[in-house]
Amino acid sequence: AIDISAAVLIITCPCALGLAVPAVVTAASGKLFRRGLLIKDGTALERLAEVDTVVFDKTGTLTMGTPKPENLGDLNAQDMAVAAALAAGSSHPLARALAEGAAAAGCTPATLDDLREVPGYGVEGRWQGQIVRLGRADWIGATAGNSTATHLKIGTGAPITLRFADSLRPGAETAVAALIAQGKRVLLVSGDVEGAVAALAQRLGISEWHAGALPQEKAALVTQLTGQGARVLMVGDGLNDTAALAAAHVSVSPASALDAARTASDIVLLGQDLSPVADAVKIAVQARRRIKENFGISILYNAVAVPIALIGLATPLAAALAMSASSITVSLNSLRLK
């Protein structure tokens, strides 16, 4: 009776069951880290495997987020000084590019009062008693064009348009094509003008896109998709994307993103290449399959081994060997992800 009791206690040790999930998560997390993705949340991998819809931001996500001003020379010294001061008050990629361009031109920023950033719109301040603004065309009172731009307005003067050129992020085309090949629904949502968003969507093969979106509209789109039963992966980098990142089923942001965006994200893209995002979805699906296999192995082991131990056909040594073999089998199955 003592031998049988000892054998049953040993053989029912839930090591294999306890290793079923952590072993897979560890193997998958290591593989994703080598691909350039850092998982912050322990449940992110499971949620990533359920994704059927992917929403991309544009500037700083599908593009490098390091635009270059094309017509900075159109500004006189006074306008450039005001623009530089306004740009210094924002973390938006266009504002950062404008501030860097003005500094490279030897411009000294003007002194502004009441400087504040309005998420989704731009930056506002007061200069020599006048309200000065830098941001969206409809907020400034300018006419939106077909290229990426920001607009400057000083007091009651006419708006000045500053155009920018940005480059595509490495791996963006590969990532979008791979996600579409996996059967995912891919959308592009951006606060940029319609012409620039449409051109990028066409280049990447994205059929659904939304331009001129405010932060609350991005979050509302994610919420709407979720309400329709979609499992949304949101990929974004800016302050304008934070609410959408938080509302998504799972979210990814580049390492170059703002602190608020990285904090709201479940996964951080460490490098510049965007293609690991598609790999992550594929690996997450494989990981979920391995977890189910591990549970199956554990259940089969207990279904076979426990009755054998109960009827006295297993010695404590045999039970220890069987228990160890089940744990090793689960671990090896998890390592297949590598």
Active site amino acids: 57
DSSP run (H or E) holding 116: strand 113-118
Local structure of 132: helix, strand or coil: strand
Pick the closest to residue 157 from 138, 128, 132 (CA basis).
132
Instruction: Check if the beta carbon of residue 182 is closer than 8 Å to that of residue 282.
Output: yes
Residue 191 three-state SS? coil
Phi/psi for 131 (5° steps) reads -80, 130
In the DSSP assignment, the letter for residue 212 is S
**Nearest C-alpha neighbor of 58 from the set 211, 239, 250, 281:** 211
Alpha helices in the chain (DSSP H): 2-11, 15-35, 44-48, 77-87, 93-104, 137-140, 172-181, 194-204, 215-227, 242-247, 259-264, 276-310, 316-335
Angle at 145 between CA 242 and CA 72, to 5 degrees: 85
CA distances (Å), origin 17, targets 198, 211, 293, 298: 50, 48, 11, 6
Residue 66 phi/psi, 5-degree rounding, is -125, 65
User: Chain-centre distance of CA 207, in angstroms?
Assistant: 20
**Angle between helices 15-35 and 276-310 in degrees, nearest 10:** 170
